[in-house]
Amino acid sequence: MKICIYGAGAVGGHLAARLITAGHDEVSLVARGAHLRAIQQNGLKVFRGEEIYTARPFAATDDPSSLPPQDVVLVTLKAQALPGAAAAIERLLAKDGAAVFAVNGIPWWWNKGTNNPQEHLECVDPGGELWARLKDRSLGCVIYSPNEVIEPGIIKTAMGDRWVFGEPDSAPSSRVDRLVQAFQAAKINGVAATDFRYDIWHKLLINCGLNPVAALTRLPTAKMTASPEVRAERCKVMLEVLDVALACGTDLRGKVDLEELVAPKKRPGSNMASMLQDVMAGRSLEHDAILGQVVEFARQHNISVPRCELMLVLLRGLNQQLMDEAAART
């Protein structure tokens, strides 16, 4: 298959290196800036536990129109960057190609396969550009894989990653099966979802209790875990999200251990949550996909989520400050 990783930063770069190393597919990258220049000059290097992956892509570019049509476009951009890339992603797809959106939060295609099949989510897809162009050509992906670009072209990741793929309506799919087979052939833990919306809410529960708090406190995971007060507040945020998920048709109550999600024993080390990485780098934040749409759902169902609402307001303010500072530097 021809596979393009669209947005080959920390997550996409890690994935690209492992797919390229397996050698089964033609893998191209869309990236930008110093990270792209390093990849073009030296290839990718990924540290994963004791494993080291070094790989050179078939092509690496900041111009997706320079690539041939792709069988799979794995989109690893942050959610807030997706609407602006909709047209380029559509043009990049081969006739029977599929775009796979591996992003945090409530995905833009959420209403596909629901009772609101004609409505886009304005919070995460302003104007409905993604919905209009890609709703019938897309798959979703829930990622369990912390990654960090430690310098351009070099990525640190963790063992035990998992990539869950699904159709928006969770139906069995040859598109999903083909993608899972490609991942498994590369010795990557790719699986097909049996209840994709459960998987989305489960990961979102973790993100809502982790990323906003990390961004606002600037604490790495070990220091958040070490504070009983921070752990307690994170659990309270997650309890609000459980109520919203239930109102939207997914019941996670009694199926998740909030304390384990807040301080996972299976992954006891420390890292910087992705939103904290964005704060430290002065990049825009994916607050609307992670919290904004949750708050919108809560309002639609008349559910009180004061902690989510407060953090959303604070994150939007922080995001504006980051964007003002970025503009001042240019």
Residue with tokens 């899972």: 180
CA distance 121 to 109: 8
d(CA 147, CA 57): 19
Token pair for residue 70? 């792709």
Max CA distance (Å), the chain: 54
Look up tokens 């992906």; give the residue.
Answer: 141
SS3 state at 6: strand
Among the listed residues 202, 198, 225, 200, the one whose alpha carbon sits nearest the alpha carbon of residue 213: 225
223 in active site: no
Nearest Cα to Cα of residue 55 among 186, 174, 159, 176: 186
Token look-up 């209840």 returns 195
The three-state secondary structure class of 104 is coil
**From CA 185, how far away is CA 295, in angstroms rounded?**
40
Q: Mention every residue, 6+ apart, whose C-beta is less than 8 A from residue 215.
A: 273, 275, 276, 278, 279, 285, 315, 318
> Among the options 203, 255, 265, 266, which is catalytic?
203
Tokens representing residue 1 in the block: 């298959």
Any idea what DSSP says for residue 47?
A: E
Q: What is the DSSP string of 239-272?
A: HHHHHHHHHTT---TTT--HHHHHS-SSS-S---
Task: Please give the DSSP secondary-structure letter assigned to residue 79.
Answer: G
Q: Which residues are known catalytic residues?
A: 203
